[in-house]
Amino acid sequence: MTTATCPDFNKYPFKKIVSCVVWSKFNVAESLFSPGEFFLDTAFDLTLEESVVLLKQVLPVMSDRRVPAIPQNYAVWFDYITQNNPELCTQIDAYVLSGMEFTPAVCRDFYERFFLESLRSEVNVLRGSMTDAVECVLGHLDDLQNGMDDYTEVLESCGKKLKDNPSPELLRELISVLVTETSQSKIASQKVNLTLSSMSDELGELRAQVSQLDRDSRTDALTGISNRRSFNEVIEKMTADSEEKDEPLSLVIIDIDHFKRFNDTHGHLFGDAVIRYVAQEMKQCVKGRDFIARYGGEEFALLLPSTGLMGASMLAESIRAIVEAQTIQGEGDIPVEKVTISLGVSEYILEESTSDFINRADAALYHAKSNGRNKVSLESELSES
């Protein structure tokens, strides 16, 4: 994708109305979407019963083809089973007949071509609209600049003639010319101002649409909290802030205990409900600059700026107890076993890499799960065990 070049606004020294900040919005398509980080829902008008029937059709087909049951792959095979996209069905059938394996690279290719491309097209439409808007403004500014140049020439000419002691007749002529040119310049300026006002409203709407796309690309569709992509960006910023301000920063990684059992016993829709429940309970426990994200599958990550290991441990224990205290209803409002979580906590060490920071929290989480689950483990416990 080609990156647009910011126009030279120095040619309009009299009124810098258009900013390069607006132009930079054109390049939003370069950063909004990364493959595999945004899930496009394929249908919203299905009933719960219909979606369950389709789920039971889609997952066995994916299993037969050894395709991992992640949301992106499910979107592809959902459209295949429902015949929503004839071209997609034709290409999958051809691939099946060829006998080739659906490797991760192949699955990614199908998802990008048939799902991400539509999102990129939407961004490109916005990009084109903003290009048209700015070009329109620049065109009117060109007209205004030319008009100002002509008006300046008239003023300079009249000024020279006034220095030569003009006759009353010439003076009346000069006054008439100045009145006419001033009026025309005023009308042209008013037209440009009206156009700029209209363009400002349009650019405001486009900016809002771009902002919404940006938010969607950083939000987990199932839970409504931030996604892994957003987490990757925020942890880089928070570790940098921790270095600069010499303040503590802690990370908690959370995993839902025995999550596979929920899926196997009650179905994937119930599993989704469990994930949403844990996300919402955690969301209510954080505040201020604390940051929560769905890290992947049934895992979550919680970043706690200005919080040391002990403070993070206390919050983690509160979250664990709150989640355990609730009960989720199964089909027919039948109570099911309690949902529990395991949590691993680490504190950032200055100048370490973010991967090391995450790995220590992961190791603490593994320690919690290896020692009975439904507990909080600190990185400090690893050296003691």
Per-residue model confidence as pLDDT tens digits over 341-366: 999 999 999 999 999 999 999 999 99
Give the length of the chain: 385
Residues of the chain with CATH 3.30.70.270: 228-384
- Band the pLDDT of 334: cuts 50, 70, 90: low
Supply 54's token pair: 């389709």
- Better pLDDT: 27 or 341: 341
Please name the fold of domain 228-384: Alpha-Beta Plaits (3.30.70)
Residues 264-297: tens digit of each pLDDT: 888 878 888 899 999 999 999 998 999 999 998 8
Supply 235's token pair: 């942890």
pLDDT of residue 15: 36
Supply 36's token pair: 């595999």
153 contacts: CB under 8 Å, gap ≥ 6? none
- Better pLDDT: 6 or 200: 200
CB-CB contact of 354 with 243 (8 Å): no
Q: Is 298 a catalytic residue?
A: yes
Give backbone dihedrals phi and psi of 15, rounded to 5 degrees, phi first.
-165, 95
Q: Tell me the pTM.
A: 0.54
Nearest to 253 by CA among 365, 375, 357: 365
State the average pLDDT over residues 317-339: 81
Find the catalytic residue in 153, 298, 324, 379.
Answer: 298
DSSP alpha helix (H) spans, the chain: 20-24, 28-31, 48-64, 71-82, 86-98, 104-111, 117-162, 168-217, 228-245, 259-266, 268-285, 309-325, 354-370, 380-384
Tell me how far apart the alpha carbons of residues 6 and 222 are, in angstroms, rounded to a whole number: 38
